[in-house]
Amino acid sequence: MSRPETSEVTPEQSAELLRLTLPLMSKHNVPVTPRNYAVWFEYVRGDNPELKAELQSLIDAGTRFTAQLNEQLFEKYASGCNVDQFLKIRNEMTDLIEDVAGSLRDVDDDTRRFGGHLDTVVENVQRSSSLEDIRELLRSLVEETRSMRRSTQLLHEHLEAKSQEITLLQEELELERKRASSDPLTGLANRRAFTEALARHAESGPAPDTLALLMINIDHFKNVNDTHGHLIGDRVIRFLAQVLRQHTKGSDMAARYGGEEFVVMLPDTGLKGAAVVAEKIRAAMADAKLVRSDNKQPLGRITVSIGVATCQPGEDPMELLNRADQALYKAKQSGRNQLAVDMNTQSVPNTA
């Protein structure tokens, strides 16, 4: 489901993965672009079970990897890694390090030369036979000292400039990190960020009934798009995201899971508390009076269905998510605009 943390790939391992990935892409007629390579590299590497399972299923079914399918796979599994941006930042960092290293080497050469000159001065002082000889040695020592000072001053200024460049790179990397974990339409966490966070919580071994999930889907969303257009549909999605922000706090995490489907993770929350949060979200959407911004015409009642599930001892995150999804399906089948609780562990009234 989520990609576990892995150790850094060595150059030797990277070369071997490259050797295995390219023929596989060629075999299935997948163009070798950075985005496609990111997907198939992860498949060969095997660290993303969800990606590996889906790609293997497509291969076994003899599916043709069209440009559209390749793009969908990238957006679903590898969009957290902006290949072009990553290469740009990596190259900038490499150039910066080489530049600084070159400056340090230059100063190191100057330092060794200065040290050699000092040794020569010491030797000549011992052999000098007149004050004039010592005066000449002192003069050359003063010149070399001034030269060394200028060299170290230039290094200081150079390193100061490079320090500012490093700060800018750090800011750029932080922006890229946020972009990679955010849904561009809503600003909420994206699917990858959510699944990774869920996996971390599951690994911590939460006590039973202390980690809850809400799986949320906008009812009849296709009708909204068909009737009002995709721009209005996007506005409805952003409005639901706003509602989720208003009803989550602290370590809670709301994410857009895909399309009109959202998910909320509620740590330290049992089934009863999760149902309360779910009902507030449902009611907020049902009570909203959304209108078109262009002609002020009402959009009609926009509702959501919600599935609720809580973790079980030693449960795989995928199973918890699947149970929340099954509860959502139950809410849809029961008439929509309501919540359904998984496992029948507690009776929670549905509100239409």
Compute CA distances 180 → 245, 255, 260, whole Å: 20, 13, 20
In 158-194, which positions are buried (b, 16+ CB within 10 angstroms) versus exposed (e)? beeeeeeeeeeeeeeeeebeeebbbbeebebbbbbbb
Among the four given CATH numbers 3.30.70.270, 3.40.47.10, 3.30.830.10, 3.40.640.10, the one describing domain 191-344: 3.30.70.270
CA atoms of 224 and 8, how far apart (whole Å):
46
Rg (CA), the chain: 31
Q: Is 42 a catalytic residue?
A: no
Confidence category of residue 280, pLDDT binned at 50, 70, 90: very high
Q: What is the pLDDT of residue 332?
A: 96
pLDDT at 237 over 50: yes
Q: What is the pLDDT of residue 38?
A: 81
115-124, 218-227, 236-245, 297-306: lowest mean pLDDT where? Answer: 115-124
Residue type, 59: I
Q: ∠ CA(244), CA(246), CA(249), 5° rounding?
A: 90
Q: What is the pLDDT of residue 12?
A: 67
Q: What is the pLDDT of residue 196?
A: 87
Hey, what are 197's tokens?
Answer: 């966070």
Catalytic residue among 144, 196, 260, 261: 260
CA atoms of 148 and 162, how far apart (whole Å):
21
* pLDDT digits 0-9 by tens, 163-181: 676 666 667 666 766 777 8
Q: Rounded mean pLDDT of the chain?
A: 80
Q: What percent of the chain has pLDDT over 70?
A: 69
Q: Tell me the mean pLDDT in the region 144-153.
A: 73
Q: Is the pTM of this model over 0.85?
A: no
Q: What is the pLDDT of residue 167?
A: 66
